Structure 1
Amino acid sequence: MMKSRFAKLLPYTILPIAIFSIRQYISFPIGSTTVWWLIHFLILFVFFWEARYSLRSREDIKSLQFVKIYLLWNVFSILRGVLVAEGYWDYKGLISMGMTLLLPVIAYLSVNKERVQDILSFFIHYTIPFGLLLFPFMPIGSWGWYLFPVGFLMLFFPVLPMKGKIIVLVVSLIVMFGDLGARSGVIKYGIPIIIVMGFYGIRHVVWGQKLMGYTRKLLIIAPFVFLLLAVTGVFEVFKMDQYIKGNYVESKKDSSGEVVEEDLTADTRSFLYIEVIESARKNNYWLLGRTPARGNETIHFADEMVENTGRPERLRNEVGILNVFTWTGIIGVILFFLVFNKASYMAIHKSKNTFVKLVGLFVAFRWVYAWVEDCNIFDINNFVIWMMIGICLSPSFRKMSDAELKLWVWGIFERKYLLKYRYYRKLEMKQSI
């Protein structure tokens, strides 16, 4: 396979992305907006340049069909944003959010097993140790924002080497129990553990495959069901304080070091849906979106937004799907859905190994979680999401046996196994010629 001049730079990109992910939590400033724009632009340049070198066959290209359409629609929305933008804050938002909308290109890189292996190996050997220098200046609850690939690697726990098992288990436990008020960390690191425990043990059971398929379908349709129930007033999933009795309050330190209490059952999402939908109805951009140059009108954050930008308009919300809707419209949401639906389906129903199936289940869950959080930022969380989607769609990943995948995973943690895997791959490629 031909390699480009930038191939060796690709693994290094995960370090600045990880640092940017926790920039707001560090007690000292790291870079200006302009500096980070330049870094993101250079990273995207490497991603797009390397994307064409990662595809090996027409089968690879075909598998990424929906990702390609979604990415092109995002590019179209960005170009529309140039026409929609009216001033400084619009153009600033267009640049930041526009680069975020280009992150699906990571799926192109991730159909290639060697690319993913190199990136994750660099993360384990260099990005995590570098993070140890930053963690003393951050609250424990924010560590997970830097370490998201560890949650992904938890899906391979049964076949990890002992070194890998220790790393992913220790990190997951610290993130989950270091700050229970950080509900997102508890969920994102806890779900992979549940998936491994729940489905790895039944991989050889006759009905195991069917159970995975039914679980995937349930996860894929769940957001639509909950939305319908909320609109009709039957059940509002975010208002858990109405259904769960008891005092679930977590005390923690905020960014200024003061101890604050947080209600773990508090509804922090319903009003966002109301504001976003009402804004789209009022301004009639529900089909094509308002482009990444503009946001939704807000009442709850109006004073803050007017003071900062001069308009009662919030460019980005905490809920990923609301941003997709605001920037790219119903069409963007449909394409976003098709990507997750196909990726999870191909992983579970067209994979020869157990672990890509587990990744597929996690991707289906992340589709659900996009309706709760997964804010669209140029961060390592979204990096991992699109990497997983690429793995699910990758014919070469899905054709691997459990034994071959085990050798691939060991290569992430130990160089001797990485070299052994590469040697095995060369022999395999020669035999196929």
Structure 2
Amino acid sequence: MATYQGRRGLMLYCALILLIAGFVYLARGENRMLMIVIFLMLLSTALLVGAEVLNKSSLFSTVMDRGMEDTRSKVSDCFYEDMSTRDWLIGKGLLGQYFCPGVDWDENALYRKVIETGFLQIILKGGVVSLGLLLLIMIPASILGIFFSKNLITKAFGLWIFIGLVNMYPSSVDTFTLNYLMMWIGVGICYSKEIRNLNDATIMQYLKKL
């Protein structure tokens, strides 16, 4: 659906999830050599016929039409012009808006509550202070989960936090969604030294008891 609608940010997000899931599987899964061979076969096939399919298929027409089209410069320019020094520092609050006429479907709308870049959205509401606190919490949690854990589930949560942080550039992540909730659950798990030191067998025993 993301490809059909030409949602480039969502396509990047889904591709990152698939890529990292593949790495995790190759690191811990079974039949790894078979999966590598299948992946290389699929990749070579995609390279050989992919260009022709893209040119002829209507499914990818939206992506081909948009290409590298810049759809955010105007919004970003309006955001930068409307933000004062105080706004950059502490934001405009939960109901904060910025002056950006003629962008949304309603051409009479003069102000917008949302900017489609997650980092700027956080700054709009809570300033650099809010963004800094968020990064100070989530970046160490991701590092602890990926590099300082002994079980796969904690590593997976660390990777999920990393994906969410990367996705804050093309889209707004800090919304009440299952994705964002899982990021904060992951933060709690990654900061727990007790959980990080559990092995996969112990984790499986706990899960079977649920």
* Secondary structure, counterpart of 1:287 in structure 2: helix
1:349 counterpart = 2:147: yes
Aligned twin of 2:31: none
How do 1:22-61 residues align onto structure 2 when only pairs under 5 Å count? none
* Secondary structure, counterpart of 1:266 in structure 2: coil
1:292 counterpart = 2:77: no
Mapped contact 1:290–1:329 kept (Cα < 8 A): yes
Q: Which has the higher contact order (CA 8 A, sep 6+)?
A: 1
* Secondary structure, counterpart of 1:286 in structure 2: helix
Aligned twin of 1:278: 81
Mapped contact 1:317–1:375 kept (Cα < 8 A): no
1:371 counterpart = 2:162: no
Partner of residue 194 from structure 1, selected from 4, 19, 26:
19
Cα distance per residue 1:317-365 (max 9 Å; x no partner): 2222111001101111111211221111221233122332232123123
1:268 counterpart = 2:93: no
Distance 1:390 1:300, change over 3 A: farther
Cα distance per residue 1:127-148 (max 9 Å; x no partner): xxxxxxxxxxxxxx3xxxxxxx
Distance 1:334 1:276, change over 3 A: same
Aligned twin of 1:361: 159
Question: How far apart are the structure 1 equivalents of 2:23 and 2:106?
Answer: 45
Question: How far apart are the structure 2 equivalents of 1:249 and 1:388?
Answer: 42
* Secondary structure, counterpart of 2:150 in structure 1: coil
Residues matched between the structures, number: 182
Aligned twin of 2:6: 181
Aligned twin of 1:321: 119
Aligned twin of 2:187: 389
Question: How far apart are the structure 1 equivalents of 2:57 and 2:209?
Answer: 43
Question: How far apart are the structure 2 equivalents of 1:297 and 1:349?
Answer: 43
Which TM-score applies when normalising by structure 1? 0.37
Partner of residue 406 from structure 1, selected from 175, 179, 204:
204
One-letter amino acid matched to 1:292: L
Question: How far apart are the structure 1 equivalents of 2:91 and 2:82?
Answer: 11
Distance 1:333 1:197, change over 3 A: same
Aligned twin of 2:34: none
* Secondary structure, counterpart of 2:90 in structure 1: coil
One-letter amino acid matched to 1:275: C
Question: How far apart are the structure 2 equivalents of 1:401 and 1:371?
Answer: 34
Question: How far apart are the structure 1 equivalents of 2:23 and 2:167?
Answer: 19
Partner of residue 380 from structure 1, selected from 155, 178, 194:
178
Mapped contact 1:341–1:364 kept (Cα < 8 A): yes
Q: Between the two proteins, what is the percent identity of the paired residues?
A: 23
The Cα RMSD (Å) is 3.2
Aligned twin of 2:209: 418
